[in-house]
Amino acid sequence: MSTPPMLRQMRHDVWATRMLLERCRSLTNEQLQLTAPGTYGSIQKTFAHIVRANEGYLNTYGVISQPFMELTASVDEIASRLARVRDAVEQLFKSKEIDFDEKIHDERRKVDMELWVPLAQFSHHGSDHRSQIGTILTLNGLEAPELDVWTYATAEGAIADF
Amino acid sequence: MTDFLLRQMRHGVWANEKLLDRCRALTDEQLELTVPGTYGTIRNTLAHIVASEEGYLVRLLGSLLHEPPLREQDLATLDVIAAHVVHVTSAVERLFAKGSLDPDRVIADTPLRRAGAPRFEMAAWAPAAQFVYHGIDHRSQIDTILSTHGLETLDLQVWPYAMELGASREAKEDR
């Protein structure tokens, strides 16, 4: 049976956040507080925001529970929470097939919405903010890893060159 | 049920159109703004997004969308880029016209490969996922450029897109 493209997308997203977080483990505490105009905030705070938001999106599907991570979390705690996110993504797609067109009431956000919306936002949100961290790193003369799908798919053996 | 990838690609096209419209209000000088750590100028980044999306779709469909494809080195105007967004929109719908994409289908080559360039074989999910990722990444950079220079930015997340589609709405108080 094929792996659903949405699961591929989310695995790439979690992989990219993990790779970037690993890269940032070699930064000093001062470097983790670097930021750039037009971005969300410091590197550390942006990571926490990405993973906290991931928890929120997955909470909609009942595969992750509150409380969500604090924005002041350390890199170690962010990594630990990201592992929980990774497991929840797998759990989501192991459960019965989801009807993404189903309309739900989301009491936490006070909206009625179709079920595809938070998952699509999951993918968008992480890429958006990782891009900002990439900009902060480069702006400050620090190396930023390649996080695109080509790199991920090559590591997964899904791309070969001839 | 609407294919999830189709939903994501439609969101990407919507975000490109919104951003292009926003950038039409910029002067030529503003379109050449950039900041270190991003791809390049606003204009070049927009062209890069759309040219790349054409490339992913050509690979997925196995045929050219039109002649000639958008080339980044052409220093395209916003009108030219917008015309190519129309090609991208049409190709996205065509890709899903016969149902869902088979994510494991192996794509052996692309009609856009230049002579002497290496050939890549890949599962179809890879260029499809790259289409979604790549646009978000570079639109985020344009947002950073606009914001850095004190220019108005747009909210291009899935939330406002879903609101516009009617797939999300504020809940009634008496619920």
Q: Can you give the pLDDT of all 162 residues of chain A as single tens digits?
A: 688 889 999 999 999 999 999 999 999 999 999 999 989 999 999 999 999 999 999 999 999 999 999 999 999 999 999 999 999 999 999 976 788 899 999 999 999 999 999 999 999 999 999 999 999 999 999 999 999 999 999 999 999 887
Query: In terms of CA atoms, which chain A residue is nearest residue B158?
Result: A121
A to B CB pairs, distance under 8 Å: 172
pLDDT bucket at B73, cuts 50 / 70 / 90: low
Long-range contacts of A127-130 (CB under 8 A, 24+ apart): A127/A13, A127/A16, A127/B133, A127/B136, A127/B137, A127/B140, A128/B136, A128/B137, A128/B139, A128/B140, A128/B157, A129/A40, A129/A46, A129/A49, A129/A50, A129/B140, A130/A16, A130/A17, A130/A20, A130/A50, A130/B137
pTM: 0.94
**Rounded distance, CA B40 to CA B26, Å?**
16
Least confident of A28-42, B59-73, B119-133: B59-73
Side-chain-side CA neighbours of residue A151 (13 Å):
11
Residues in A 96-135 with any Cβ partner in B closer than 8 A: 99-101, 105-107, 110-114, 116-117, 119-121, 123-125, 127-132, 134-135
Pairing of strands B168-170, B120-123: unpaired
To which H or E segment does residue B124 belong?
none
Nearest to A153 among B2, B126, B158 (CB): B126
CB A159 within 8 A of CB B126: yes
Cα–Cα distance for residue pair B43/B117, rounded to 1 Å? 27
Q: How confident is the model at residue B45 (pLDDT cuts 50, 70, 90)?
A: very high
Residue-level pLDDT at B174: 56
Task: Assess whether pLDDT exceeds 60 at residue B175.
Answer: no
- Among A2, A99, A162, the residue with its CB nearest the CB of B104 is A2
Cα-trace Rg, chain B:
17
B171 contacts A110? CB cut-off 8 A: yes
Is residue B89 helix, strand or coil?
helix
Residues of chain B contacting A133 with CB distance shorter than 8 Å: none
B174–chain A nearest CA distance, Å: 12
Q: Label residue B119 exposed, middle or buried (CB < 10 Å: 0-12, 13-18, 19+).
A: exposed
What confidence score (pLDDT) does residue B74 get?
A: 66
DSSP code string of A59-124: HTTTSS-SSPPPTT--HHHHHHHHHHHHHHHHHHHHSSPP-TT-EEEETTTTEEEETHHHHHHHHH
The closest CB to that of B37, out of A99, A139, A149, belongs to A139
Cβ of B133 within 8 Å of Cβ of A127? The answer is: yes
What is the reported pLDDT for A120?
Answer: 95
Q: Min CA distance, A17 vs chain B (Å)? A: 13
Contact B57, B86 (CB under 8 A): no
B6 touches chain A (CB under 8 A): no
Asked if B157 lies within 8 A of A101 by C-beta distance, the reply is no
Strand duo A103-106 + A111-114: pairing:
antiparallel
Beta-bridge partner residues of A113: A104, B168
- In chain A, which residues have their Cβ closer than 8 Å to the Cβ of B102? 2
CA distance B173 to B175: 6
CA–CA distance, B142 with A82 (Å, rounded to integer) = 27
A49 close contact with B: CB closer than 8 A: no
Q: Which of B119, B167, B170 sits opposite A161 (nearest CB)?
A: B119
Is A5-152 a domain of CATH 1.20.120.450? yes
The residues spanned by each domain of chain A are 5-152
In angstroms, what separates the C-alpha of B140 from chain A's closest C-alpha?
5
A149·B119 Cβ contact <8 A = no
